[in-house]
């Protein structure tokens, strides 16, 4: 990027970042607190419980079956 002066390159990148942040904010809807809590209780807590049970089974079995002779 030697052909573009540094200050122009800086402002172009800054403009791109600001534009990207504004685009994300305008594109996606604002979530209310009740929607976030509903998402958490319906999906995230059950997924985390399944993950916890899976790891509770996998980690001890990895130590049991990974013995070297």
At 7-59, the pLDDT tens digits run 999 999 999 999 999 999 899 888 899 999 999 999 999 999 999 999 998 88
With a cut of 70, say whether residue 67 has pLDDT above it.
Answer: no
Look-up: residue for tokens 């996606």?
Answer: 28
Query: Which residues fall within 8 angstroms of residue 14, CB to CB, at 6 or more apart?
Result: none
Find the DSSP H helices in 1-69.
6-27, 33-39, 45-65
Residue-level pLDDT at 68: 63
């Amino acid at each position: 990027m030697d052909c573009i002066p540094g200050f122009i390159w800086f402002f172009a990148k800054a403009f791109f970042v600001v534009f990207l942040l504004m685009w994300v904010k305008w594109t996606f809807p604002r979530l209310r607190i009740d929607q976030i809590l509903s998402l958490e209780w319906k999906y995230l807590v059950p997924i985390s419980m399944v993950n916890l049970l899976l790891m509770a089974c996998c980690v001890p079995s990895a130590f049991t079956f990974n013995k070297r002779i």
